[in-house]
Amino acid sequence: MSSATLMAFWAFSLLFVFTPGADWAYAIAAGIRGRGVMAAVGGLLAGYVVLTLVVAAGFGMLIAGNRLVMLALTVFGALYLTWLGISLLRNPPVPRAVVDNSTGSDRARLFLRGALVSGLNPKAFLFFLAFLPPWTNVAAAWSLSTQIVVLGLLYTTSCAVVYSIVGIGAGAMLATRPAAARVVGRVSGLMMLALAVLLLCKESAWL
């Protein structure tokens, strides 16, 4: 795999990284609370690593080819986004002290939720399944699985930088604006609900 291919894929993937979605909403909510931003982002990244390994191992095609499994994944992902969205609407995040006083269990919970947000997102799964293999080369010295892992980790690295900036930036800009923070938190909740509805609508159109 040439460096030119990696650079081209990186530039292409940035279009998706910079598109706001459930990941952005989750990172922003964590940033507003002023704690656990890196745990939340780490969870999002862990979900992407799992998706990369699933596609690289060849299970991606089996899952995508099974309508029942894809339906279950879509419905479960939509329900999880709905639960997070309603939680943000009912209890919007408010700025806290700059000092991170979150406990280990708090960070673990934020990490797990982040992993579920990205790992259960059918849109993210289909992105990895549809856009990673075309950038591989059967004539390359690396195996196809290795190439997919490298591409997936490159995408995940971009997400790490962007989501960290988004989360920390949200906290910094809204640290002294609790009213604005609540509005942004509720907007993030509405975004998650909209994405959940969109997932279900697309799934119903495919049936």
Is-contact 49 194, C-beta < 8 A?
A: no
Please report, for residues 43, 78, 141, 181, 203, the alpha-carbon distance to residue 149 in angstroms, rounded to integers and kept in the order given: 18, 27, 14, 37, 28
What integer pLDDT is reported at residue 163 of this predicted model?
Answer: 93
Q: Determine contact, residues 52/146, Cβ cutoff 8 Å.
A: no
**Interval 61-89 mean pLDDT:** 75
Tokens of 134: 């075309």
Tell me which of 200 and 43 has the higher pLDDT.
43
Contact 29, 188 (CB under 8 A): yes
Condensed to tens digits (0 to 9), the pLDDT of residues 13-71 reads: 888 888 778 888 889 888 887 768 899 999 999 999 999 998 888 876 666 566 777 67
pTM for the whole thing? 0.76
One DSSP character per residue, 15-52 reads: HHHTS-SHHHHHHHHHHHHTS-HHHHHHHHHHHHHHHH
CA nearest 22: which of 120, 153, 95? 120
